[in-house]
Every structure is written in C-alpha cells, then in structure tokens.
Amino acid sequence: MRLNKDFIYRKVGSDSVLVPVGSSSFSGMVKGNATTGELIECLKEDMTEEQMIERLLEKYDAPREIIAADVANVLNKLRQIGAIEE
Amino acid sequence: MTGTYKIADEIIFVESVYPTVHEYYRGYEASGTPDFSVKTSVEDIVFEREKTENGEMFPDSYLEEIAMYRKICEKMPYYDTFLFHGSCIAVDDEGYLFGAPSGTGKSTHAKLWCDNLGERAVMVNDDKPLIRICGDGAYAYGTPYNGKHRRGENTKVRLKAICMLSQSPDNGIREITRSEAYPLIIGQTYRPYDREAFVKTLDLVDRLFENVKLYSLRCNMEKEAFEVSYNKMRED
C-alpha cells in the first residue's frame, strides 16, 4: 500500500499532518504523533503492513503487539479518509 | 468578453462568457502586460453549479464569477499569494484578519471594529482577501470578492494578526500555537486542485506563520467582544 498522491504530508511543530488537495469539504486532515509521521514516511514507498511493523520495531523499543496495534490503528484512520492506495 | 485587471499586484487578463464578471471587477481595471491570463467556459460554470449548494438556483453569470476566482486562485500560489476565507480590517495601517467557518460571525465581528473605531478602521475585504507573502511580511489585499455586503477596498495592508473566531455567550481571547492554528487556518485556505500550486500554498502558510501572531477568540455580538479582541491584539 502507499500514500494517495492527492494527500500532502507536512510537519507542523511536532505534529504530522496530512492535507488533501482541493475540494470543498474539509474533513480529511489527519494530525498525529511521531509514529504517524513514521508510517506516512513508509507509505511514500510501497510497503505492506508487516514491513511497516518491522520498520517501527527497529526504531522503537516496544513490544511487537503494541506496535502492530498502533500501526493498524493509524492505517485504519488513513483508510477512512481515503489517504491510502492499496 | 475580455478585460485586464490588477488584483493583489498581479496584472490579469480575464476572458469570460458573460459580461457580469467585468462589472464585478470594477475598480480593479489595469493596463500593461498581463502576468497571467484566465478564461472561463460553459464547462467551468457547470462545474461550479454542481459544487454549489442549491446551485440550480443561481444564474450562470453568478456562477461564472466564482469560476473565475477559482481560476485566479489556482494561479496565485505561483506568485506567492493565496486565498483565505476571512474578514480583514486595517487599523492604523496594521492588518487584522478574522477567520472562521461560514456563519460564525466574521463579518459581524469585523463590523463591531468598524463601528467602534470609526475612520481609524478600514475594511480591506469582508470575505475572500488574497494573502501575499513578501520579504518584509504578509500582506492582505482587497479583491472584488468582498462578500454579500460588498464591503472592501482595492488596497493592501501588512498583517499583524490572524484571529480565529468561535461563537460563545461570553468573550475571551488567547494566543494559540501553530499546531493549534494549523487545521483552523488550512480549513479556511483555498486548496488548489493543481498539486504543485497546493504544495506552494502549504509553503506559503508556513511562511505566513512566521510573520503574524495567531489568536483564538470566543465572542458574542456585544461591544465587549470588540474591546476584548482589540485590546489584546493591539497590545501584543
């Protein structure tokens, strides 16, 4: 899966923000922490969920199930706003 | 029909299907070599009708005015300029920009400033000013698109503050951080369909943040709302 190119990723202070390209309704902005930012970086490449978990395991000292749950949660949010191309 | 206009210091050649746009742009006529050209077609009018709530109730000529601004605002980021949905007032040559979703009371609050400050206050634009980021700061420009009350001037002012409004029974104002302001500001910023123009817009918003103070105001429609917001932003 990868990031829909109609979403632009920005860092605002310590927040990671995804903003959708022009449309009248504005419901698609995601604000997240560093993990969200990390995942969005992953989505710039084409990666599977499993690969993302591996990538985060290398970076963060946390149990696999916690990271896996975090990844699933963020991906779910991104899917809901149409930011992911499967 | 064609015409040449200067909006936000850019000379624009405008070509329309109906003459109404040119009446709407009165006061912005210019001559000289255009920086860019925009042209609307019947398809653009159809597009606006589909996008606009109750679009079938509006005449083509009105929808073309909106379509033309969309064309202009798709180009403006290439000239360090973007559209912000808000009401902008100049007081003693300093600009205050009020932003909020439609119906919150931007115009009402801006009018309180005008009523209480008299000639010291100038309504730059009551609905859709253009914001230009320059080397020495952010400037708000008057445009023909100045809201249903047609309040605004063909002028510009350097912005001192942006204040996001919300309705409340009482009045209070506080400075807010960039990350707090970001979704509010982006929510009232025109987001181009053209991806490159959109990325430029986000760059311009970042630069805007370096040049203005950011506030959140909760307010009613009483005179006190003006006093609270003016006294705080004036001092800082």
Nearest neighbour of B195 by CB, restricted to A14, A17, A21: A21
pLDDT band at A27 (very low <50, low <70, confident <90, very high): low
Domain total of chain A: 1
Tell which phi-psi region holds residue B166, choosing left (phi > 0), alpha (psi between -120 and 50) or beta.
beta
The angle formed by the CA atoms of residues B122, B128 and B134, to the nearest 5 degrees, is: 75
pTM higher than 0.80: yes
CA distance B206 to chain A (A): 8
Asked if ipTM goes beyond 0.85, one says: no
Q: What is the pLDDT of residues A40-54, one digit of tens each?
A: 889 988 899 999 999
Residues within 8 A of B (CB atoms), A 25-64 only: 26, 29, 31
Tell me if residue B59 falls in helix, strand or coil. coil
**Range of the structural domain that residue A23 is part of:** 2-85
Residue keyed to tokens 């005449």 = B59
CATH assignment at residue A61: 3.90.930
Sort out which chain A residues have CB atoms less than 8 A from B176's CB and list them: none
Nearest neighbour of B198 by CB, restricted to A8, A12, A29: A8
pLDDT band at B83 (very low <50, low <70, confident <90, very high): very high
Sort out which chain B residues have CB atoms less than 8 A from A21's CB and list them: 191-193, 195, 198
pLDDT band at A24 (very low <50, low <70, confident <90, very high): very low
Sort out which chain B residues have CB atoms less than 8 A from A24's CB and list them: 51
Nearest neighbour of B182 by CB, restricted to A5, A12, A23: A12
CA-to-CA distance for A62 and A38, rounded, in angstroms?
15
Amino acid at residue number B105: G
What secondary structure does DSSP assign to B60-87, as a single string?
A: HHHHHHHHHHHHHHHHGGGGTEEEB-EE
pLDDT band at B21 (very low <50, low <70, confident <90, very high): very high
Q: What is the pLDDT of residues B144-202, one digit of tens each?
A: 999 989 999 999 999 999 999 999 999 999 999 998 999 899 999 999 999 999 999 99
Domains of chain B: 2-79 (no CATH), 81-235 (3.90.228.20)
Phi, psi of A60 (to 5 degrees): -115, 140
